[in-house]
């Protein structure tokens, strides 16, 4: 049975979009190609749409995720857009629900490898509140994916909190644990500046597989054998903070804010997508159950009445209809049956001969008498009739006019 989630109605305010169009240019982290990103306002319930260079529109949702290796990649009709998670994380933290992102190449620019440039870009665009409420999701039952040493679990909570454990045998990384209640200010100060990272020993293999071709010390933290090759880290535990940043961005594939406590150990994009898929399936199952229950009750009630009526003998139906006539004095007295005849026996105990009643003897409730229509006259007009109101209401309307 799928875990259940809770629709929390119109909480957490209204949807928002950006106020004006903004652009930024950079290099793709994995493609190494120059790319221009342009963000444009969008209407409520549009969500985040990516538009490729050929005009293909790809919604930023879990159904269009086609690859989770080293980044979140969307795809549709053979067109792909890679590395969307940093922009998505910034949009989630700032509460921007709707915009269109035009990408001139196959990848969102890496910029400095963190979400901070995207936060600055969205702040420069401004925001507009739209007249449609947001629909946050609150967890009622835990949802867990993964196993062994790599897993994620989201549990009920009144706030959005992430507790992340990154346990890597490399001496530079080690075991790092961070727990934060993620709000806009916390994200901007504590998570957004954390940069993506990679290990020097893996660079050759990654580039052979079409990854990290645009990576450099300007847009990533490169980890050597005993230290990082960059000048310094922005946080002592920058590695786990960037993992949390990626998770925030991948959760925004739901298109709705989440209220719950997420506990993570050694996850990545693939497991993040698995959690989003599990939550999406739970939402769909709950939605189907919620809409099917009233329909089943209505259908069951009607079927039960029809079934009871079909098995009721004709004589019993006639007697029941006749006995109900005693409650309605307007009905024909001929349709009423003595109590002795309803029992089927005379007072002496002998069985009364059965006589089938014709339908003509059953009375039908007469139609309620209609109200008497009263004519009214306006000064200087001919007599008119008011077919839908009585004289008192007409007089009231004329007097008020």
Is 344 part of a structural domain of the chain? no
pLDDT tens-digit readout, 12-54:
799 999 999 999 999 999 999 999 999 999 999 999 999 999 9
Domain of 219?
5-288
What is the DSSP-derived secondary structure letter of residue 376? E
Supply the pTM of this predicted model.
0.72
Is 180 part of a structural domain of the chain? yes
Asked if 367 and 341 count as a contact pair (C-beta separation under 8 A), the reply is no
Is 54 part of a structural domain of the chain? yes
Bigger pLDDT: 291 vs 128: 128
**Domains in the chain, number:** 1
Joined together, the tokens standing for residue 122 give 């969205």
Is 274 part of a structural domain of the chain? yes
pLDDT at 349: 53
Least confident of 60-64, 203-207, 375-379: 375-379
Q: What is the mean pLDDT of residues 273-298?
A: 81
pLDDT at 287: 80
**Mean predicted lDDT score pLDDT of the chain:** 81
pLDDT at 307: 45
Residue 330: pLDDT band by 50, 70, 90 thresholds? low
Distant-in-sequence, close-in-space partners of 275: CB < 8 Å, separation ≥ 6: 143, 145, 152, 154, 251, 262
Is 303 part of a structural domain of the chain? no
pLDDT at 381: 47
pLDDT at 283: 87
Is 318 part of a structural domain of the chain? no
Least confident of 79-88, 345-354, 355-364: 355-364
Q: What is the mean pLDDT of residues 68-75?
A: 95
273-278 CB contacts, 8 Å cutoff, 24+ apart: 273/62, 273/65, 273/68, 273/72, 274/145, 274/146, 274/152, 275/143, 275/145, 275/152, 275/154, 275/251, 276/62, 276/250, 276/251, 277/62, 278/3, 278/143, 278/145
Is 321 part of a structural domain of the chain? no
Q: Is the model's pLDDT at 151 over the cut of 50?
A: yes
Q: Alpha-carbon distance 343 to 349, whole Å?
A: 10
Q: What is the dihedral of CA 37, 41, 43, 46, to 10 degrees?
A: 10
pLDDT at 249: 98
Is 57 part of a structural domain of the chain? yes
Q: Is the model's pLDDT at 341 over the cut of 50?
A: no
Residue 290: pLDDT band by 50, 70, 90 thresholds? confident
pLDDT at 106: 96
pLDDT at 297: 58
pLDDT tens-digit readout, 153-212:
999 999 999 999 999 999 999 999 999 999 999 999 999 999 999 999 999 999 999 899
Q: Residue 163's domain is classified under what CATH number? A: 3.30.1700.10
Q: What is the mean pLDDT of residues 211-228?
A: 95
pLDDT at 351: 55
Bigger pLDDT: 328 vs 118: 118
Bigger pLDDT: 379 vs 103: 103
Percent of the chain residues topping a pLDDT of 90: 65
Active site residues: 269
pLDDT at 288: 84
Q: Alpha-carbon distance 42 to 115, whole Å?
A: 22
């Amino acid at each position: 049975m799928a875990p259940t989630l809770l629709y929390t109605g119109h909480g957490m305010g209204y949807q928002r979009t950006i106020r004006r169009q903004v652009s930024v240019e950079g290099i793709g982290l994995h493609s190494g190609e120059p790319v221009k990103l342009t963000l444009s306002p969008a209407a409520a319930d549009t969500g985040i749409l990516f538009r490729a260079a050929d005009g293909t529109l790809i919604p930023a949702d879990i159904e269009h995720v086609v690859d989770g290796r080293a980044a979140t990649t969307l795809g549709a009709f053979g067109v792909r857009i890679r590395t969307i998670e940093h922009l998505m994380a910034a949009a989630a933290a700032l509460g921007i629900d709707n915009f269109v992102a035009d990408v001139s190449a196959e990848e969102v620019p890496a910029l400095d490898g963190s979400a901070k440039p995207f936060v600055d870009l969205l702040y420069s665009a401004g925001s507009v509140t739209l007249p449609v409420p947001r629909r946050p999701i609150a967890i009622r039952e835990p949802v867990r994916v993964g196993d062994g040493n790599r897993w994620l679990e989201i549990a009920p909570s009144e706030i959005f909190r992430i507790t992340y454990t990154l346990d890597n045998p490399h001496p530079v990384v080690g075991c790092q644990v961070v727990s934060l209640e993620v709000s806009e200010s916390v994200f901007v100060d504590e998570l957004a500046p954390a940069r993506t990272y990679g290990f020097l020993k893996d660079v050759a293999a990654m580039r052979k597989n079409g990854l990290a071709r645009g990576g450099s010390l300007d847009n990533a933290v490169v980890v050597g054998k005993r230290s990082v090759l960059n000048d310094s880290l922005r946080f002592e535990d920058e590695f786990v903070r960037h993992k949390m940043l990626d998770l925030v961005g991948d959760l925004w594939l739901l298109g709705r804010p989440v209220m719950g406590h997420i506990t993570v150990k050694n996850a990545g994009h693939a497991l993040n997508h698995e959690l989003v898929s599990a939550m999406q399936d739970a939402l769909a199952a709950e939605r189907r159950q919620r809409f099917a229950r009233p329909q089943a009750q209505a259908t069951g009630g009607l079927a039960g009445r029809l079934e009871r009526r079909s098995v009721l003998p004709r004589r019993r139906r006639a007697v029941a209809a006749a006995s109900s006539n005693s409650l309605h004095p307007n009905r024909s007295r001929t349709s009423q049956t003595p109590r002795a005849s309803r029992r089927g026996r005379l007072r002496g105990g002998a069985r009364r001969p059965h006589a089938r009643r014709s339908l003509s003897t059953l009375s039908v409730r007469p139609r309620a008498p209609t109200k008497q229509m009263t004519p009214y006259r306006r000064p200087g007009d001919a007599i008119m009739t008011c077919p839908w109101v009585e004289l008192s209401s007409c007089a009231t309307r004329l007097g008020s006019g």
